[in-house]
């Protein structure tokens, strides 16, 4: 493992920790506990579902040097949750969709479906970027970035035509 990979791993690990801490702290802070019960259940299951998608992709479909290397699998999972952290910020800014305000506080079921779809979409974009052989982690970021930009542009075109945001 190179020095830059250790820096990327440390930064991704920190952002992944922030993601999980903020995610589950906010989910358990909803008061009263009965409020948004189905939404809390769905939102609570999204990170483990994403983890299983990433693990399957990294163990079965990733590069030959990643599939059997435990450290690289953890490395790419940490990058994946940092990816989700930034993707959710982008989703909140560009699509005006907040999981805290719209889903938990307002108990908006339509926002729950939209947010869950966006969360899983971010997961699939990142996981698909890990498929196949490539020279390194920067290829995953580049391919995922192309997928993310395409996803955002398509969503903005839909908004332009249907004004859904």
Extract the tokens encoding 139: 């290829």
Residue-level pLDDT, tens digit, the chain, 165 residues:
688 999 999 999 999 999 999 999 998 887 677 666 788 899 999 999 999 999 999 999 999 889 999 999 999 999 999 999 999 999 999 888 889 888 888 888 899 999 999 999 999 999 999 998 888 889 999 999 999 999 999 999 998 999 877
**DSSP character at residue 14:** H
Token pair 């982008």 in the structure block, residue: 90
The values of phi and psi at residue 109, to 5°, are -70, -35
Other residues' Cβ atoms within 10 Å of the Cβ of residue 70: 7
Extract the tokens encoding 152: 């955002």
**DSSP character at residue 1:** -
Within 13 Å, how many C-alpha atoms sit on residue 41's CB side?
Answer: 5
């Amino acid at each position: 493992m190179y020095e830059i990979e250790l820096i990327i791993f440390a930064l991704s690990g920190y952002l992944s920790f922030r993601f999980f801490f903020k995610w589950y702290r906010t989910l358990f802070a909803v008061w009263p506990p009965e409020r948004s019960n189905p939404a809390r259940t769905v939102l609570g299951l999204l990170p483990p579902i994403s983890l299983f998608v990433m693990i399957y992709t990294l163990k079965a479909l990733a590069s030959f040097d990643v599939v059997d290397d435990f450290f690289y699998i953890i490395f790419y999972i940490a990058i994946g949750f940092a990816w989700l952290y930034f993707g959710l910020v982008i989703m909140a800014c560009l699509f005006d969709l907040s999981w805290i305000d719209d889903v938990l506080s307002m108990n908006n079921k339509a926002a729950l479906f939209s947010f869950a779809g966006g969360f899983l979409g971010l997961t699939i974009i990142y996981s698909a970027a890990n498929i196949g052989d490539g020279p390194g982690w920067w290829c995953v970021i580049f391919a995922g970035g192309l997928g993310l930009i395409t996803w955002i542009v398509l969503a903005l075109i839909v908004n332009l035509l249907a004004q859904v945001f």
